């Protein structure tokens, strides 16, 4: 099946790939939350798994203190796999803590606190987002600790975390990308785009010229986008339209351009007039398979190489999104487990679960675990 022009009017993000309040309500009414969330006990056949992203000491320390005070122990990715297979049964209170993306706060805040409370965690890292640095940054308790520097951990920091044993480093794909799945313009980069989370900014060009839309590219057209790990086919958008719009806004005053009442019509006209004969063509399914495999294979191999290990064998799929083609690729590549939250089933790990569709809960539900100081409200 070769490249083809996609029908833009049918290109939408499926509900199963969306977050937000509606998705949370559907999860609630469909019985996806485990019993302990509503005041019950944690079943012997359940392993609660919680996910974090960027963290602060003020938010994280009470949660780790709650776990330690109530006798909870933490498990690593290999242990989750053994539990799913039925090879091990945990005695006592066990949980898994996952720090997605390996933000800088994993090094500066989370790791020192985990050591303080004698706990461990799994971090799903994104090698394409990690840079080298001459030295590691200061950590919690150091008077010189500052928030500047790269947004994610650096390679020296990640190696140190791996060697310490406090952090079980696993894969979050190579680049954690969303890709355009339509050539129909759905919006533009405006001054407010700076508030869009870094990892939610779409991939503009794939490897080898990997590039993402930035907040500085005011005027750039945006299109419907889905996770690279979804079954959505990537659509080539017009680089000519992108560059013309960005340059036009720059010439016309940058952010001041958006004070014009007709700015949207002006940019829409620029995008529609762009000369790019390849725009609107979708990738073939074989190209999609290769791109998905590269994200998974490169992500794991780079981490193993840079950390000088062979222990990276598990993956968390960005935004919890997976598709049939990704599930098949995971099996072909020999991955052992995958976190893919947004699918039917209980939001906890149980023996017999499909290892490529393991589910977790947001960390705000951690205080719902049985124990002294338990909170039955959020």
The full DSSP string for 164-204 is HSSEEEEE--SS--EEEEEEEEEEE--GGGGGS-GGGSPEE
pLDDT grade for 264, boundaries at 50, 70 and 90 = very high
167 lies in the same domain as 213: no
The position carrying tokens 């992108």 is: 242
Could you check whether the bond before residue 343 is cis, i.e. omega within 30 degrees of 0? no
301 lies in the same domain as 250: no
361 within domain boundaries: yes
Rounded to an integer, the average pLDDT of 183-188 is 94
4 within domain boundaries: no
136 lies in the same domain as 59: yes
Q: Tell me if residue 209 falls in helix, strand or coil.
A: coil
100 lies in the same domain as 184: no
**Residue 4, pLDDT score:** 39
The position carrying tokens 């675990």 is: 369
Residues 129 and 176: beta-carbon distance below 8 Å = yes
45 within domain boundaries: yes
Quote the number of domains for the chain. 2
233 within domain boundaries: no
pLDDT grade for 273, boundaries at 50, 70 and 90 = confident
77 lies in the same domain as 194: no
171 lies in the same domain as 307: yes
| Domain of residue 356, CATH code | 3.20.20.370
Residues 53 and 107: beta-carbon distance below 8 Å = no
32 lies in the same domain as 142: yes
Degrees to nearest 5, angle at CA 215 with 176 and 280: 65
Percent above pLDDT 90 for the chain: 83
- Checking if the pLDDT of 268 tops 80, the result is yes
pLDDT grade for 32, boundaries at 50, 70 and 90 = confident
Q: What is the pLDDT of residues 210-262, one digit of tens each?
A: 999 999 999 999 999 999 999 999 999 999 999 999 999 999 999 999 999 99
Look up the domain containing 216 and give its range. 180-227+238-279
Q: Which helix (H) or strand (E) covers residue 247, if one does? A: helix 239-251
Q: Tell me if residue 254 falls in helix, strand or coil.
A: helix
40 lies in the same domain as 131: yes
133 lies in the same domain as 104: yes
Q: Which helix (H) or strand (E) covers residue 301, if one does? A: helix 285-307
5 within domain boundaries: no
144 lies in the same domain as 261: no
Residues 121 and 102: their CA atoms lie apart, in Å, by 11
pLDDT grade for 5, boundaries at 50, 70 and 90 = very low
Q: What value does the mean pLDDT of the chain take?
A: 92
Q: What is the pLDDT of residues 118-172, one digit of tens each?
A: 999 999 999 999 999 999 999 987 655 556 799 999 999 999 999 999 999 999 9
188 lies in the same domain as 252: yes
50 within domain boundaries: yes
290 within domain boundaries: no
Q: Which of 219, 249, 279 is the last residue of a domain?
A: 279
- Checking if the pLDDT of 370 tops 60, the result is yes
Nearest alpha carbon to residue 55 among 111, 138, 130, 129: 111
- Checking if the pLDDT of 203 tops 70, the result is yes
Q: pTM of the prediction?
A: 0.93
Percent above pLDDT 70 for the chain: 91
270 within domain boundaries: yes
334 lies in the same domain as 207: no
């Amino acid at each position: 099946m070769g490249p083809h022009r996609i029908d833009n009017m049918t290109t939408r993000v499926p509900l199963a790939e969306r977050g937000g309040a509606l998705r949370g309500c559907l999860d609630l009414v469909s019985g996806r939350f485990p019993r302990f969330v509503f005041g019950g006990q944690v079943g012997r056949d359940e392993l609660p798994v919680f996910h974090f992203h960027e963290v602060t000491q003020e938010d994280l320390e009470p949660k780790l203190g709650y776990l330690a005070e109530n006798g909870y122990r933490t498990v690593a990715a290999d242990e989750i796999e053994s539990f799913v297979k039925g090879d091990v049964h945990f005695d006592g209170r066990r949980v898994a803590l996952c720090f997605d993306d390996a933000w800088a706060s994993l090094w500066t805040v989370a790791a020192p606190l985990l050591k303080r409370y004698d706990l461990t965690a799994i971090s799903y890292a994104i090698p394409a987002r990690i840079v080298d640095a001459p030295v590691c940054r200061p950590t919690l308790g150091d008077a010189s600790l500052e928030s500047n520097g790269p947004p994610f951990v650096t390679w020296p920091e990640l190696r140190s975390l791996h060697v310490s044993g406090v952090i079980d480093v696993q894969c979050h794909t190579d680049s954690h990308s969303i890709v355009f799945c339509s050539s129909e313009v759905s919006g533009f980069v405006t001054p407010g785009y700076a508030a869009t989370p870094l990892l939610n900014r779409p991939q503009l060009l794939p490897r080898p010229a990997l590039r993402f839309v930035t907040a500085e590219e005011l005027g750039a057209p945006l299109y419907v986008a889905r996770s690279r790990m979804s079954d959505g086919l990537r659509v080539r958008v017009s680089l000519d339209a992108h560059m013309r719009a960005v340059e036009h806004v720059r010439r016309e005053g940058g952010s001041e351009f958006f004070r014009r009442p007709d700015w949207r019509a002006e940019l829409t006209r620029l995008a529609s007039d762009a000369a790019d004969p390849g725009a609107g063509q979708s990738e073939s399914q074989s190209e999609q398979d290769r791109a998905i495999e590269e994200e998974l294979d490169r992500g794991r191999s780079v981490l193993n190489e840079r950390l000088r290990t062979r222990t990276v064998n598990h993956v968390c799929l960005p935004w919890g999104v997976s598709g049939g083609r990704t599930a098949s690729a995971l099996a072909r590549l020999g991955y052992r487990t995958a976190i893919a939250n947004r699918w039917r089933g209980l939001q906890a790990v149980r023996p017999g679960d499909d290892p490529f569709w393991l589910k977790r809960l947001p960390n705000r539900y951690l205080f719902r675990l049985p124990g002294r100081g338990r909170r039955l409200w959020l």
